[in-house]
C-alpha cells in the first residue's frame, strides 16, 4: 500500500471505519461473500501548476456483491474521479483498488484493459456510443474484444437488447435514438461481458426526468433480476430510494454512508 502524502495528515479526514479498512490486506485471497470491489485509502492528486489539488483524498470504499450503491455529492466533489479509480480507468496517486482479490497496482495498462474488458462495465453520462456502429454493433463490441465467436456475440447482443427493451432498435444508429434509448444501449454494452460490477457515471445527467427515472429503474431491475452489482454516481438525490447504500462525498472525501435496512 502506498504511503500517505506528507502534506495531508491522514487523521484529518479518516473515519475509524476507514482506518480499519486500510488495514485490510490487499493481497488477501478473494472468497465468496467478500466485498468484490474495494477502494482502499484512495487519493488522487493533480497538479495545477505546482500546487497540488486533491480530487479524492484517502477514501476507502467497499462494494459487496449484488449491491446497488449510489454515490452522491455536489459537482466537483470527486465522484467521477473515484469511479474512474474503481474502474481502473485511472490510477490513484496513493492507495489501492482491489477487484475480486486482484489489486490494480499489480496490473500494467494492458492488464487493466483486460480487467475492464472482462469484469467492469461502464455507463457514461454522455452515453459514449460509437456513432459509426449500430446499436447492436455497439453492444457486440466488448464481446468482440474478448474474441467471442460472431454467432455467440450476436445472440448475446440480442438477449441484452431485449433485456433493456431495445430489441426493436438494434439496427439503428445512435443518431437515430433518443438520449434515453442511447443510454439503454450503453447499459446493454456495459453488461455485455457479464461484468462483476457496473460503474455508472451520472447516467441520468443528460436525460430528462422521465428517462432518467427509467434508467435508474432499469439499473434496479437488472440489479434485482440478475444480481448485478451497480455503483452509480449521481448528483440527483432523488434516486437514493433505489440504492442499497448511499455514499455522500464532499471535497474528495466520503462524509456519510447511508445503508438502507432491508
Distance between CA atoms of 67 and 223, rounded to whole angstroms? 8
Q: How far is the CB of 90 from another protein (least distance, A)?
A: 4
Q: Would you tell me how many other CB atoms lie within 10 Å of the CB of residue 29?
A: 7
Residue 201 C-beta: closest distance to another protein, Å:
9
Interface residue with another protein, options 40, 54, 77, 90 (CB under 8 A):
90
Q: Does 137 bind another protein (CB under 8 A)?
A: yes
31 neighbors 65 (Cβ within 8 angstroms): no
Residue 7 contacts another protein per CB under 8 A: no
| Binding test (CB under 8 A) with another protein, winner from 38, 79, 169, 189 | 189
Q: Does 78 bind another protein (CB under 8 A)?
A: no
Told to check if 194 binds another protein by CB under 8 A, we report no
Nearest CB to another protein, comparing residues 4 and 145: 145
Q: Report how far apart, in Å, the C-alpha atoms of 246 and of each of 37, 126, 223, 250 are.
A: 16, 23, 15, 13
Identify the three-state secondary structure at position 45.
strand
Task: Give me the phi and psi of 69, to 5 degrees please.
Answer: -110, 130
Distances, alpha carbon 111 to alpha carbons 27, 93, 114, 118, in Å = 17, 18, 5, 11
Per CB under 8 A, the list member of 15, 24, 102, 128 interacting with another protein is: 128
Q: Which of residues 146-165 bind another protein (CB under 8 A)?
A: 146
Q: Does 89 bind another protein (CB under 8 A)?
A: yes
CA distance 89 to 175: 26
The footprint of another protein (CB under 8 A) covers 84, 87, 89-90, 109-110, 113-118, 120, 122, 124, 126, 128-130, 132-133, 137, 141-142, 144-146, 189, 193
Amino acid at each position: 500500500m502506498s504511503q500517505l502524502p506528507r502534506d495531508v495528515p491522514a487523521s484529518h479526514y479518516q473515519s475509524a471505519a476507514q482506518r480499519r479498512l486500510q488495514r485490510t490486506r490487499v493481497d488477501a485471497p478473494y472468497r465468496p461473500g467478500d466485498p468484490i470491489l474495494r477502494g482502499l485509502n484512495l487519493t488522487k492528486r493533480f497538479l495545477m501548476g505546482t500546487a497540488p489539488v486533491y480530487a479524492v483524498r484517502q477514501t476507502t470504499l467497499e462494494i459487496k456483491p449484488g449491491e446497488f450503491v449510489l454515490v452522491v455529492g455536489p459537482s466537483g466533489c470527486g465522484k467521477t474521479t473515484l469511479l474512474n479509480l474503481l474502474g481502473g480507468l485511472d490510477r490513484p496517486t496513493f492507495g489501492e483498488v482491489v477487484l475480486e482479490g486482484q489489486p490494480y497496482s499489480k496490473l500494467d495498462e494492458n492488464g487493466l484493459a483486460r480487467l475492464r474488458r472482462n469484469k467492469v462495465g461502464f455507463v457514461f453520462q454522455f452515453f459514449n456510443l460509437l456513432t459509426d456502429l449500430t446499436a447492436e454493433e455497439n453492444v457486440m463490441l466488448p464481446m468482440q474484444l474478448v474474441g467471442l465467436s460472431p454467432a455467440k456475440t450476436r445472440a448475446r447482443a440480442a438477449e441484452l437488447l431485449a433485456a433493456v427493451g431495445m430489441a426493436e432498435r438494434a439496427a439503428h444508429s445512435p443518431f437515430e435514438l433518443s438520449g434515453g434509448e442511447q443510454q439503454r444501449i450503453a447499459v446493454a454494452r456495459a453488461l455485455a461481458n457479464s461484468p462483476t460490477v457496473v460503474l455508472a457515471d451520472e447516467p441520468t445527467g443528460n436525460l430528462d426526468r422521465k428517462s432518467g427515472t427509467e434508467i435508474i429503474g432499469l439499473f434496479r431491475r437488472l440489479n434485482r433480476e440478475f444480481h448485478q452489482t451497480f455503483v452509480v454516481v449521481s448528483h440527483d438525490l432523488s434516486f437514493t430510494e433505489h440504492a442499497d447504500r448511499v455514499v455522500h462525498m464532499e471535497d474528495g472525501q466520503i462524509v456519510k454512508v447511508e445503508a438502507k435496512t432491508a
